[in-house]
Chain A
Amino acid sequence: MAQTEYTPNFYGGIFFLTSGALLFEIALIRLFSVAQWYHFAFLVVSIAMLGLGAAGSFLAVFPDWCKRASSQRLANLAWLFAAAVVAAYAISNRIPFDQQRVSWEAYQFLYLLGYYCVLAIPMFLVGLLLSSVYARHSQIVGKLYFFDLCGAAVGSVTVLAVCSLAHGLGGIWTAAACGLISSFLFAPGLKRGIASLAGIGFIGILWLLAPSFFSLRMSEYKALPQLLLPPEAKIVHTEWTPTARIDFVQSALVHFAPGLSLRRYIELPSQLGVVIDGGNLNAITHFNGDVKSLTFVEDLPAALPFHLSKISSQLVFEPLGGLDFLIALHYGVAKIEGAGIYERIAGITREDFDQFSGGLFRDFGIKIEAISPRAYVKKTSQAYDLICLPISDSFGAAGTGIYGPAEDYLYTVESFTECLRHLSADGWLYISCYLLPPLRQELRIISLAVSALAARGSKDPPAHLIAIRTLETFLLLIKSSPVNNPEIDSLRTFCEARGFDLVYYPGIVASELNRFNRFPRPIVHEAMMAILQDSTRKKFYQNYLFDVRPAYDDRPFFGHFFRFDKLNEEYESLGRRWAAFLEGGYLVTAAFLQACGVSIVFIVLPLLWRRRQHFHLPPKKSRVALLAYFFSIGMAYMLIEIVLIQRFILFLDHPLYAASAVIGSLLVSSACGSYVSTKLELKAAWKIGRHLLCLVLVLALYALFLPRMLAAGIGHPLITRAVIAIALNSVLGFLMGFPFPVGIRKLGQSFASLVPWAYCANSSAAVISSAFAVLIALEFGFTWVMMIAIGFYLVAAASSWRWRLS
């Protein structure tokens, strides 16, 4: 191999390539979340990442390929990666797969297979390049790994800046550009320079011209395309933020008034649809500035608290289009505040639709902060007469109400407890969701309320609760003090006039149930009573069809209801329609199983092949130890990364900040650890077992004390918290950066041709662990994920002692 490979250009090539790979991965998740649904993105991208493992497997079967890995070949691979990124996106965007159609078009699975194949190619090319470089230069792998991780860190942070550009395709174009820069750096020269420049020029043209061929194709069953059905409907504003695509839509089909009474067949004022990531419909309501003219809000269930007591101050979480603000204004609330991560909707409305919205976000003294609701209640010292949580379907639950794998820290016992702490003496906490039998969301809200009231020291939680039903929604009010008789009288009057059904208040009688919107039996009331009573609650949780136990911060999955032990009954209760299982925890299981299956093939196949070809292989025990070592460190690394991101979401106010701080600091510090490992003699470095035990000890300390440390630091300014987060992650990351490069060095000394195989095991494990972490967290919580990660490091330590390669 040419000497030029050891120049800064060579390392730069690796840096840009891994930057591009990370950019591509995260951009794909973002784009597929918009085009289809988050679950689908998770499923497809995890398989695409297995392209890395496939490359390692390929090189283990054809080791001569590594020997021919010249600078020119590396440059060609990087260039091909760039081309593959553009082609993979373009082709996958045209594959007519639709998750919705799977239930009646079996050939949709072929399209899914098409996705897998197309999207795995760019990652396969990256894997080929990295594996061959590691195999040929195993003695400087620490340094190589340093640039690999630094590139990945920069890519993962850059993606936040570029994803929102070029109609959401900024991440794709930048990933391709990174590949081209990498190509040039691997083999600088006139021809290569021209080829790379031509490629970058082509990408620049695509970026600027935004040809329609590359426009993101959205599932026709998402809310946005459905709103665009009427001929006159149109998108009037689109904005890509680092975390979401926000569309403002003008359409006759926009109708957002959850639970509106049908008593007067009211036509709503005209509304402008606000759609996040193509789904989650909300709306800006036309407002002429006269708060008294908003009479339609009196027919909404959200008006109930104002009929029960005088509300002077109100806090709205995730106000989005501001319907809750309109209600508050109509009822004369003096102090109105809002907090949420989609504050940009208010900003766009102020800038472009101020007249339509009657200056709602500008003229009425409403204070809105772009911060996660949990962080807001943590930092504020105010007490409110009313705190409104967003209707849960908007965030946690998707269509089937089983949007399992997405964490939601707003609907946990700790969150409800915190909200109750910020209520005034007679204040109300308002929670609602869409009704969707078989009952699930409704019951979890009730279980959360009971647990939160108990945690607040209430001796009689049911005395604080009111629950009603409309035709399509369920509403729970939690009062900081016991509900009194005048309030009950007002409640009855309010519901009677609007045709809303009473579900619960202290002292409710059977004749008041199930009157206007009738189930065959008053099932919501019956289930609620089972949860409210201490004597029946535990048994109800055990026997109920779905898991409706309260969610906690350690297991923050409000939308996860499925129980594996009730699989058959759930299938029956859903009318024998398996499509519902496409969402929720079962899809994660599918992702996990398919990742396991494909990984086993990639890992086992090369060994079988090599044995057949009579290649020299280490003894069987060492092979197992090798596999266990690289697989375990891959699993452990990713599990810890996922746990840390979760732990820091609350600490840093925003999932985006948490992901950036954790991924960035962890990768950079791991890169430093990797670099330092090269400075050690291999003999010294190979005391890795002790190092791993040290790491296990530190991890155990983190598992024990991190939640408390974060809770203590939460009141500090964001910048201080960010520094604390980076410092805490860096200690771990530094130690976690040692095992892989040291292992590769050791392996390269005697079995260099097995390095790609080890790389395959390691990268496959990283993919498996992302689904595995969610599966464990869904059932047992993130503390257990951390414990399992520690277990994997222990396995790695034990494996390192069993290694006998010489």
Chain B
Amino acid sequence: MFRLAFITFALAPLLLVLHRQDEYAAERAALVRELSKSGITDARVLTTMKSVKRHLFVPKDLRSWAYDNMPLPIGEGQTISQPEVVAFMTQELHLKDTDKVLEIGTGSGYQAAILAELVDSVFTIEIKSKLAANSANLFRELGYKKIQTKCADGYYGWPEHAPFDAIMITCAVNHVPPPLLQQLKIGGRLILPLGSTRFYQTLTRLTKTEKRIEADYLGTVAFVPMSGAANKS
């Protein structure tokens, strides 16, 4: 009896920690059910969405909203994308577990974490130094060894690690950066919110074939454009 009580007391803090660490598991599961109803059909993507803890990628004061299907501010005038958009973009890249993926616009790092669960290696670039540093620290803390980060202008891609099987741009752009096309393998896919840098874009998937680039319009999205800190005169 005494032994049982001792074990209970000894394990209680551990159980508490475990419980706290995954206190959002139910909400995450509910979110995944919502995603599956809204057209996310790729089982691998759904499983990943269920395992990656989005609440760790949003500011602490917003964690209670982490599993609502909506974008949230992450500071620096940027947002973490709506989970449905994250899942949809990931699904539409048709990833294989051997793929090498480049992400432009790390933000809080959530999308890169999702990708890392699905592919062999992820390279992610963020232009905002504060966001880049925060996400790099977080990846280290959470043990995402497959992810490599860089603080730079994503327009030019990451030629040292090219070519990529897939490239994902997670900020609004009004044209396809040619360097990124060059860094895409034949048969590779590039997904991006193309169009206006204000409010609305068309989510577009480009596929590089031997002869040409082919495009598929996948729907409308609302990504935040890159934002500058201040005017220079």
Contacts and interface: CB of A to CB of B under 8 A. Distances in A.
A579 B196 CA distance: 14
A40 to B, nearest CB: 12
Interface string B127-167: 10000000000000000000000000101100000000000
A704 interface: no
Contacts of A582: 199
A220 B228 contact: yes
A436 B201 CA distance: 7
B214 A518 contact: yes
A575 B70 CA distance: 12
Interface in A200-231: 215-218, 220-221, 223-226, 228-230
Given A105-B73, A229-B226, A262-B181, A577 B153 contact: no
A225 B230 contact: yes
Interface in B95-146: 127
A400 to B, nearest CB: 5
Given A518-B216, A577-B222, A104 B195 contact: no
B225 interface: yes
Interface string A489-523: 00000000001000000000000000011111000
Contacts of B228: 220, 225-226, 228-229
A673 to B, nearest CB: 45
A798 B71 CA distance: 56
B170 to A, nearest CB: 15
B48 interface: no
Interface residues of B, number: 47
Q: Is the interface of A mostly helix, strand, loop or mixed?
A: loop
A101 interface: yes
A399 B196 contact: yes
B227 A220 contact: yes
Contacts of A266: 178
Contact of B199 (A235, A267, A580): A580
A642 B157 CA distance: 51
Contact of B194 (A221, A472, A520, A580): A472
A365 interface: no
B86 to A, nearest CB: 15
A574 interface: yes
A215 B198 contact: no
Given A220-B227, A226-B226, A262 B213 contact: yes
A783 B197 CA distance: 36
A218 B232 CA distance: 11
A234 interface: yes
Contact of B212 (A104, A257, A499, A583): A499
Given A518-B215, A574-B220, A401 B196 contact: yes
Nearest to A219: B227
Nearest to A518: B216
Contact of B202 (A217, A221, A400, A435): A435
Contacts of B174: 472
A267 B227 contact: no
A350 interface: no
A436 to B, nearest CB: 6
Given A104-B72, A577-B199, A438 B231 contact: no
B91 interface: no
Interface string B169-203: 00000111111011000000000001111111010
B162 to A, nearest CB: 13
B36 interface: no
B175 A472 contact: yes
Contacts of B206: 262, 471
A227 B224 CA distance: 15
B217 A518 contact: yes
Contacts of A234: 232
B90 interface: no
Contacts of A574: 200, 220
Contacts of A577: 199-200, 222
A632 B204 CA distance: 52
Nearest to B153: A230
A498 B227 CA distance: 33
Contacts of B156: 252
Contact of A517 (B71, B77, B195, B217): B217
Nearest to B128: A229
B198 A438 contact: no
A100 B155 contact: no
A233 interface: yes
B7 interface: no
B155 A252 contact: yes
B213 A398 contact: no
B4 interface: no
B200 A580 contact: yes
A253 interface: yes
A159 B108 CA distance: 46
B212 A434 contact: no
A436 B195 contact: yes
Contacts of A580: 199-200
B208 to A, nearest CB: 9
Nearest to B212: A499
Contact of B231 (A218, A265, A398): A218
Contacts of B14: none
B195 A435 contact: yes
Contacts of B231: 215-218, 224-225, 228, 235
Contacts of B220: 437-438, 574-575
Contact of A265 (B178, B195, B229, B233): B178
Given A104-B72, A221-B227, A262-B181, A399 B198 contact: yes
Contacts of B176: 262, 471
A421 interface: no
Nearest to A515: B214
Nearest to A263: B212
B194 A471 contact: yes
Interface string B56-88: 000000000000000111000101000000000
B217 A262 contact: no
A220 B229 contact: yes
Given A226-B227, A437-B217, A575-B220, 5 more contacts: A221-B225, A225-B227, A238-B233, A574-B220, A575-B219
Chain A to chain B: the 5 pairs with minimum beta-carbon distance, closest first: A399-B198, A225-B228, A262-B213, A220-B227, A399-B196
Interface of A: 98, 100-101, 103-105, 215-218, 220-221, 223-226, 228-230, 233-235, 238, 252-253, 255, 257, 260, 262-263, 265-267, 393, 398-401, 434-438, 471-472, 499, 516-520, 574-575, 577, 579-580, 582-583
12 contacts: A238-B233, A252-B156, A255-B175, A262-B206, A263-B212, A265-B182, A399-B200, A435-B202, A437-B217, A437-B220, A471-B206, A580-B199
